Amino acid sequence: MTKYTLFSIGLALTSFGFLSACHQGKTTETRQKEILPENIVELREDQAKLANIETGAIELRSLSGTIKVSGIITVPPQNQATVCMPMGGFVKSTFLLPGDAVRKGQTLAILENPEFVDVQQNYLEAKNRLEFAEAEFRRHNELFKDDVYSQKNLEQVTADYKTLKAQVKALEQKLALIGIPTSDLNEDNISSSVPVGSPVSGYLKTVNVNTGKYVAPSDIMFEIVSREKILLELTLFEKDADKVTAGQKIHFFINNEAEQHEAVIYQTGKSINNDRTFTVYASALGSCKNVLPGMYVNAIIETSDKKVNALPSDAIVSFDDKQYIFVFNRNKEEEGKPFTEFRMIEVKKGISDAEYTEVILPDGFDIKTAQVVIKGAYNLLSAKKNAGEMAC
């Protein structure tokens, strides 16, 4: 209802009261005027109809309180990757730009390094020596069983065999670390260049290489982010620490868009930061096409879902910094005309959800029998404020 409409109804109610009072003054000058208590508002039948008064009961409803917070979009550690090269090298080629989509195992760049050749050579030489040492180990074992070979010589052959076996395994791991598979490696396909593969599928966040650049083992070549699992990193004040817990729902928005996305809290901070805030993490639900890691978000957390005494929000009015409701008091007649009295009762407001608000009632309030004004409460308040102007 607009302010203009409320003003019109209030003015009409005032005019009704004024005319009524003047008429009564002219026809029954000797009748004493009734003095109403401060918390009572009365309306004639025609005034009540004009004010659109409607009563109802206080309901027991499930309401969800909310907290407005802000934060950023992020991803879990397993969905982002930093790509480095353990042995370094010169970039032979790369064709990617930030924002490009990559899949797990895809070649991001090709590096060259003479040390790659040395590692492959050492591996193949050690592997060949191991094959000979293994044959010697088996032969000397058979000779030792036939008392042809001494135990000392057998121990020496065994030690050589195990040393070469360890060396081959170590070189295999080193080759795997730099991305050279040993299954097909032989003397004919030794290469000075190796491909750098993507460890995850996602999008390139940064590209720090170009053709011809030398990359040290500690240099970050690429950063990759996967959007398969989007997280919200939200910042809350410590006063709200007892209002949030895992499993609560969140509605969030990005870039001031009207489209609403949903998430669920999966972890809350276990300590308070120096600025008296703490962090809450939530998992985004469904597909969020326009959501990218690093984006700023506004979010609304549903803090509770409990049944409380509730009324339509318009049934609760503010007067002198206090909250009130109107309750039907009684019907009466004055000079043959019907009047209705409404009692003004102070209450306190709780959580609000949609068009309903929790109402905290005073002690002794009878919820079962009370007929609360659920429509037209502002018109009654207007009549209350104008009561002093209704005399001739």
Supply 185's token pair.
């490696």
With a pLDDT cut of 70, the percent of the chain lying above it is 86
Supply 247's token pair.
């499993």
Write out pLDDT tens, residues 222-238: 999 988 888 999 999 98
Angle between helices 3-27 and 377-385 (to 10 degrees): 50
Determine the Cα–Cα distance for residues 300 and 222; give it in Å rounded to an integer.
Answer: 35
| Region 58-69 average pLDDT | 82
Domains and CATH numbers, the chain: 3-63+307-389 (2.40.420.20), 66-78+228-306 (2.40.30.170), 80-225 (2.40.50.100)
Residue 37: count of CB within 10 angstroms of its CB: 10
The pLDDT, as a whole number, for residue 108 is 95
pLDDT band at 33 (very low <50, low <70, confident <90, very high): low
What pTM was computed for the model? 0.57
Angle between helices 151-177 and 114-145 (to 10 degrees): 150
Query: What's the mean per-residue pLDDT of the chain?
Result: 83
pLDDT band at 34 (very low <50, low <70, confident <90, very high): low
- Give CA angle at 93 (88, 96), nearest 5°: 105
Write out pLDDT tens, residues 279-333: 999 998 877 777 788 889 989 887 766 788 999 999 999 988 899 999 999 998 8
Write out pLDDT tens, residues 137-151: 888 777 766 665 667
Determine the Cα–Cα distance for residues 123 and 314; give it in Å rounded to an integer.
Answer: 82
The pLDDT, as a whole number, for residue 4 is 40
Which of 4-13, 19-28, 33-42, 65-74 is predicted most confidently?
65-74
The pLDDT, as a whole number, for residue 148 is 59
Residues 6+ apart with CB under 8 A from 353: 63, 64, 65, 66
The pLDDT, as a whole number, for residue 14 is 47
Write out pLDDT tens, residues 109-131: 999 999 999 999 999 999 999 98
The pLDDT, as a whole number, for residue 146 is 62
